[in-house]
Chain A
Amino acid sequence: MNYSSSGNHILNYGESTSLNWAERFRRFPWSLLFLLLMTVFVGFGILFSAVGGSNNIWIFLRQVIQFCFGVVIMCSVAVMVGEKIYRRFAYLFYSFSFVLLGATMAVGSVGMGARRWLEFGFFRLQTSELMKVALILALARYFHDRGGANGMKLRELVVPFLMILLPMAMIVKQPDLGTAVLLGGVGMVMMVVAGLSWKVLLTLVIVFGASLPVIWNGMHTYQKQRIITLFSPERDPLGSGYHIIQSKIAVGSGGVIGKGFMAGSQSQLDFLPERHTDFIFSVLAEEWGFLGGVTVLVLYGLIIIRSLMITEMANDRFGLLTVVGATMLFAIQVMVNIGMVLGLLPVVGVPLPLISYGGSSMVTIMIAMGLLIHVSIYSKQHGRSV
């Protein structure tokens, strides 16, 4: 069907699958884009300082290019395809990602003690990133097809649980505890919103609590170490406690107004490890103080609120759950990363969305954002309100 010249179709409930470009442009959630750009630009400033200014300008420039690439992907995801495409291909995409994840386990390349990447000649793919998006879409599709999780028995929940737990297990094996926890968190929240009964939820919590010792025993030594370290970083100040201690010093020494741009001694004198990736929030907090830290927290909060607002506009369960999943993917990363930097959570290696240096996490986040923008653009409520 072609609706390129007419607006009539909008009133036709349930049939529209495609919009003309002008309409897509008009419906684009510009306020969300604005918040995203604000955060990214703040991130550029912090990154510039974190890499030591013009000395390592190429790192900074790469991030700018990666971001531009990310924006293109986000917009493509948001506007290039019709409404039902993602739902239709959700399972296929999940299967594809699952196979790649399995392949990674078998033949993936090792970096920093973990097997996370698949080599494709000219570039390497972190397959767990793919899985983040795939899981959101597949879960959304599952609960969409089943008409929600209301009244579902535990038996019926086996499929979604496996959808979550199998990739989680594979990612834990890599080992990449951070991503695994992230998948679990996103999946959990999506199930809760889909209508998981409170009884089942309670059971899950109890089972999880009971299995904690088993999980503990199954963890790698370095993962245990990180958790022990969280509660007493002073036990090993030059070893596993170093990150937490130096990060807390950086954050704390920033005080109310910070030490100023490129003037953070912890950041500029290399005391802060991983400062342009996982610990970039410490650089922000050291150089811009409490005011800077709170500003970024507020920006993230606004992005999350604006994203969740899209749930109101979703046409169907699939759309709504996709938005919830994408938002949670974003929100959990923000909380885990900042919690880690502030010494509240163990060091699990989750980057700070939109700000941390790194291509793959940026692309994933942009895809997720693209998905929820997609839902927003194709909402039928536009027709009603206009």
Chain B
Amino acid sequence: MLDDDREQFRGDARRRLLLVGGGLGAAFMILGGRLFFLQVMRGGEYRMLAEDNRISLKPISAPRGRIFDRDKRILVENNPDFEVVVIPELAGTLRHLLKRLGRFIEFSDEEVKHLIQQARRQRSFLPLRVKSHLSWDEVSSIEVRIHEFPGVDLQSQSVRYYPLNELACHIMGYLGEPSDLDRKRFKRIQFRSGDLVGKSGVEQRFEEVLRGREGMVEMEVNAVGRHVRELHRTPPQTGSDLYLSLDADLQQEAQLALGNEVGSVVAMDPNTGEILAMVSNPTYDPNQFIRGFSHAQWQAMNLDPDRPLINKAIQGQYPPGSTFKIVVALAGLIHGKIDPKETFFCGGSLVKEEQRFYCWRRHGHGSMGLLQAMTQSCDVYFYKLSERLGVDAIERQARRMGLGSVTGVDLEGEKAGLIPSRSWKRKMFKTSWYPGETYITGIGQGYVLTTPLQLANMIATVANGGTVYRPSLLRMQSDRKPEIVYKNTISSYHLDLLREGLEAVVHDPTGTAAKARPEGGIRAAGKTGTSQVVRHKRDKSGQLIKSTNENLQDHALFVCYAPVEKPRIALSVIVEHGGHGGAAAAPVAKRVLDKFFAKYGAEA
């Protein structure tokens, strides 16, 4: 090899190496620049991503607030629900372990198979729930031997418990998995899977009060999710307790008094609007919603024609029947359309526009003043009074007593009922009002619909002298004043007349509600009602054809308050298809009144 050849080659190689070196330099600059971009310019962003990776937030569920009645007796509480959890990597052979655990807890072959499959699917350091809803015996037998089972742990979570079972179930409501609607409704609540939410009753209405604030554990986790250590813990905040106006004793008595009858009882304090009892029959067990239904149970409940999930006290709409006469009588007095001493003759029926309108008493009441008409619930008297008033005056008075619109009670799904008027009919049917319809309206039939709660509120208004309160399920405390919806001005003269009539209904020998008369000389005032389910068939002589089909029987109604001098309780009772109000509904009211005065005494 010649020197000059080498030197020439060297020079050429040097130039080319310079190029290579430049390329390498550029590449290193790019790497350095990229490092600068990622670490210096975007460092904060990536640091956050790294933290997200590192920290796993595990929510700790907060127990819901408890619910008490007015005597601070527990209506709803939380019970621990125990489950056995196994961490497979600490527990050895799962099949063997389950066999050993099987001495204390029962596992079906299928469960064992399922668990072993599940264990294979998940990482071995993650807990595997092997059995939920343990009995106390199971819990204690495992607890004392827990050291014999490494990797086995007993965990508890709080579940809702309704110690009174069916009692007041419609007021308590029940819990269920949140629906899209619930999520929309409670925007501020972040639902997690497995969370339950109030689906009806006060559980639903006071969801945001009862629901606590969930706690949070910040855990450092590695890439596969294994917990490395706890970084921070925010303890959960238990939800607020709720004190209801309900009286569990009264509720129970009302429930017993109604027995197996389908219907509703509402008891209120007429001076505050506090609801003391609210029964709707049939009932359900809210605990069942926590335990879960079988398909058949759920099907049966939904297909039950008596609709146990419906709270009939606020969702059942019934024609008020003769209890509506209270409204009509008061309207008549206030408008001066009747003189209390003026009498009408009841011959058992009345003809208007070629249509015959019957009194419930086929052979007539004879000559009737307001007092007698109230006491004996004479239909003919009220036909005539309605005619004088006109439907619109009746409608106005009904609305002033809380009928025809929702009462605003602390429950969801309340129905408004219906109080007809001329304009309503024009709007609904595009026809004018027939005078005969005024008759029917005057005795609380036809289009008129009310809920049991509205009726209780109506009679409470009479009891307290004209004030319509918003019915409340919460106990009145110093900071909570009763809410007034409307205040009627009724002269004491008119009021006394009306009350005298209502008292006679219960206490006069001719009264329709003698069966409601309370024990111990306490005087009550009330009004029976019988609301027609279907138009009664009558034979040629006009005699009623008694139906043997129970579902065609009339609904029995009764509203009352007591004591008459200083009312402390107002009641409405509806027994579906119970027949006459005095026969079927009044005795229910009597039992509730007796219980009330036995507990609280005759004097306030």
A residues with a Cβ closer than 8 A to B are 14, 147-148, 150, 189, 192-195, 246, 248-256, 265-266, 269-271, 285-286, 289-290, 293-294, 297, 300-301, 304-305, 308, 311-312, 316-317, 320, 324, 328, 331, 335, 338-339, 342-344
Given the contacts A193-B13, A193-B20, A311-B13, A249 and B39 also touching, CB distance less than 8 Å: no
Q: How far is it, in angstroms, between the C-alpha of A255 and the C-alpha of B46 when the chains are bound?
A: 9
**A290 proximity list for chain B (CB < 8 A):** 35-36, 39-40
Q: Does B544 contact A (CB under 8 A)?
A: no
Neighbouring A residues of B54 by C-beta, 8 Å: 265-266, 269, 271
**A-B pairs with lowest CB-CB distance, top 3:** A252-B46, A253-B50, A255-B43
Contact A297 B28, beta carbon cutoff 8 Å? yes
Q: How many angstroms between the C-alpha atoms of A343 and B221 in the bound complex?
A: 25
> Of the candidates A248, A256, A271, which one forms a contact with B222 in the assembled complex, judged by CB atoms under 8 Å apart?
A271
Q: Is B220 in contact with A342, judged by CB distance below 8 angstroms?
A: no
- Interface flag for B6 (CB, 8 Å): yes
Q: Is the CB of B43 within 8 A of A195?
A: no
Q: A192-B16, A193-B13 are in contact. Are A269 and B53 (CB under 8 A)?
A: yes
* Residue B223 is within 8 A (CB to CB) of chain A in the complex: yes
A83 CB to nearest B CB, Å: 14
**Neighbouring B residues of A255 by C-beta, 8 Å:** 39-40, 43-44, 47
Report yes or no: B35 in contact with A342, Cβ–Cβ below 8 A: yes
Say yes or no: A253 contacts B28, CB within 8 Å.
no
Q: Is the CB of B35 within 8 A of A294?
A: yes
Q: Which residue of B lies closest to A252 (CB)?
A: B46
Dominant secondary structure at the B interface: helix
Q: Does B485 contact A (CB under 8 A)?
A: no
Do A324 and B223 have beta carbons less than 8 Å apart? no
Interface residues, chain B, with chain A CB atoms under 8 Å away: 1, 5-6, 9-10, 12-14, 16-17, 19-21, 24, 27-28, 30-32, 34-36, 38-40, 42-47, 49-51, 53-54, 220-224, 228
Q: Which residues of B contact A331 (CB under 8 A)?
A: 24
Q: Contacts A249-B49, A252-B39, A255-B40; is A304 near B34 (CB within 8 Å)?
A: no
Q: How far is the CA of A50 from the CA of B42 in the complex (A)?
A: 24
A342 B38 Cβ-Cβ under 8 A: yes
Known: A192-B20, A308-B17, A324-B20. A253 touches B49 (CB 8 A): yes
A148-B12 contact in complex given A290-B35, A311-B17, C-beta closer than 8 Å: yes
| CB < 8 Å A-B pair total | 133
Q: Which residues of A contact B30 (CB under 8 A)?
A: 339, 344
Can you name 15 extra interface pairs (CB under 8 A) apart from A246-B53, A335-B28? A14-B1, A192-B16, A194-B13, A252-B45, A254-B39, A256-B39, A256-B43, A265-B50, A297-B35, A311-B17, A331-B24, A342-B31, A342-B34, A344-B31, A344-B34
Report Cα–Cα, A338/B35, bound state, in Å. Answer: 10
CA distance A195 to B19 in the complex (A): 12
Asked whether B46 lies within 8 Å of A293 as measured between CB atoms, the reply is no
With A251-B35, A255-B43, A335-B27 known as contacts, the answer to whether A271 contacts B17 (CB < 8 A) is no
For A251, give the chain B residue with the smallest CB separation: B38
Residue of A nearest to B30 (CB): A344
24 contacts between A and B (CB under 8 A): A14-B1, A147-B5, A148-B12, A192-B19, A192-B20, A193-B13, A193-B20, A248-B38, A249-B50, A252-B46, A253-B46, A253-B47, A254-B43, A266-B54, A269-B53, A269-B222, A269-B223, A286-B50, A293-B35, A294-B32, A297-B31, A297-B32, A311-B13, A335-B24
CA–CA, A291 to B557, complex, Å?
Answer: 88
**A294-B32, A308-B17, A311-B17 known; A252 and B38 CB under 8 Å?**
yes
In the complex, the chain B residue whose C-beta lies closest to that of A194 is B13
Q: Is the CB of A248 within 8 A of B46?
A: yes
Query: Nearest chain-B residue to A289 (Cβ)?
Result: B39
Q: B20: nearest residue on chain A (CB-CB)?
A: A189
B contact residues around A254 at 8 Å (CB):
39, 43
Q: In the docked arrangement, what's the CA distance between A338 and B47, Å? A: 20
Expressed in whole angstroms, the minimum distance between the Cβ of B502 and any Cβ of chain A is 75
> Of A147, A256, A269, A342, which one neighbours B40 at CB under 8 angstroms?
A256
Q: Which chain B residue shows the least CB distance to A266?
A: B50
- For residue B558, give the distance in angstroms from its CB to the closest CB of chain A: 68
* B residues in contact with A311, CB < 8 Å: 13-14, 17
Looking at the assembled complex, report how far the CB atom of A241 sits from the nearest CB atom of chain B, in whole angstroms.
14
**In the complex, A271→B49 CA distance in Å?**
12
A147 vs B4: C-alpha distance when bound (angstroms): 12
Docked complex Cα distance between A308 and B24 (Å): 11
B contact residues around A317 at 8 Å (CB): 9
Q: Residues of B contacting A308 with CB < 8 Å?
A: 17, 20-21
A252 touches B27 (CB 8 A): no
Cα(A320)–Cα(B45), bound, Å: 47
- Alpha-carbon distance A189/B20, docked complex (angstroms): 7
